[in-house]
Amino acid sequence: MTAVFDLPLDLDAFEGPFDLLLTLVLKEELEPAEVDVAAIVVAFVDGLAERDELDLEACGEFLVLIASLLELKARALFPEEAAELDELEPGEAAEELARRLAEYRRMKGAAAWLTERLAGQRERYFRVGPSPLAPRPERQLAPQDPERLAAALRRLAEPPARVSLSHMGLRFPPVAQFLERFRSVLGRRRRFDFDAEVSGLSRVEQAVAFLALLELRKTGEVALEQSAPFAPIRVSRAESERGAEWIVRSA
């Protein structure tokens, strides 16, 4: 700190130590705009080079001070801009500088107190480990009647009621049954009407009959005709279809 405050300066507008310069600026006896900030920085750096040691603390303090001074100078040089920005006036900035310095000095004082305190604790050795294992709080249950527990267990031990599967009682006749039936019909007749053939059967039986029909179509045993959607499906022997085609081609 002393190194910064006692820094000798030889500027155009001022000659003397840095702390005096600051005082004059704070007292508004010296215009910040007239202070050559760069020359102060050069003087400080020269001083550092002469001492041949890097005092980080002094550097930090110098930076804070010089930045504040620079801010004051900038505000003095560009008052209109400062007003536009609704920023602090130079006087207020000086007060702010003093306030910040005071705040920082208190913290430095606190750090010095901690340093001293720490030095006094060198002979205190204690165990440092991970956080202690806090006892896990047990879940508190209200007192329970053993008979109620037994009753609950008995209910669990009872076999569950049989689930009704009546809604699943659909009987699906085998597809093969309809395959045989349709082959038999086509053995007797060249064609038949599907709807007429399955009329009177249940919906499930009709569905299985339709599957059988598709199966016969897949194997090429029958030909299917339907003039329009939902119109009657006419089923005929496949060879008769092929025969008709042959007749047309040969004609």
Footprint on this chain of other proteins (rule: CB under 8 A): 16-17, 19-20, 22-24, 26-27, 56-57, 60, 63-64, 67, 95, 98-115, 117-118, 120-132, 135
DSSP 8-class letter at 145: -
Our CB check for other proteins shows the closer of 127 and 167 to be 127
Report, in Å, the least distance between residue 114 CB and other proteins: 5
**Residue that is written with structure tokens 């704070």 in the block:** 26
DSSP run (H or E) holding 109: helix 90-120
Report, in Å, the least distance between residue 120 CB and other proteins: 7
Sign of the C-alpha dihedral, residues 104, 107, 113, 118? negative
Report, in Å, the least distance between residue 159 CB and other proteins: 47
Our CB check for other proteins shows the closer of 65 and 179 to be 65
Of 220, 228, 223, nearest in space to 244 by CA: 223
Residues 6+ apart with CB under 8 A from 13: 30, 31, 34, 35, 36
Our CB check for other proteins shows the closer of 107 and 214 to be 107
Residues 6+ apart with CB under 8 A from 14: 20, 21, 24, 30, 34, 35
d(CA 246, CA 249): 5
Our CB check for other proteins shows the closer of 85 and 114 to be 114
Our CB check for other proteins shows the closer of 88 and 175 to be 88
Report, in Å, the least distance between residue 17 CB and other proteins: 7
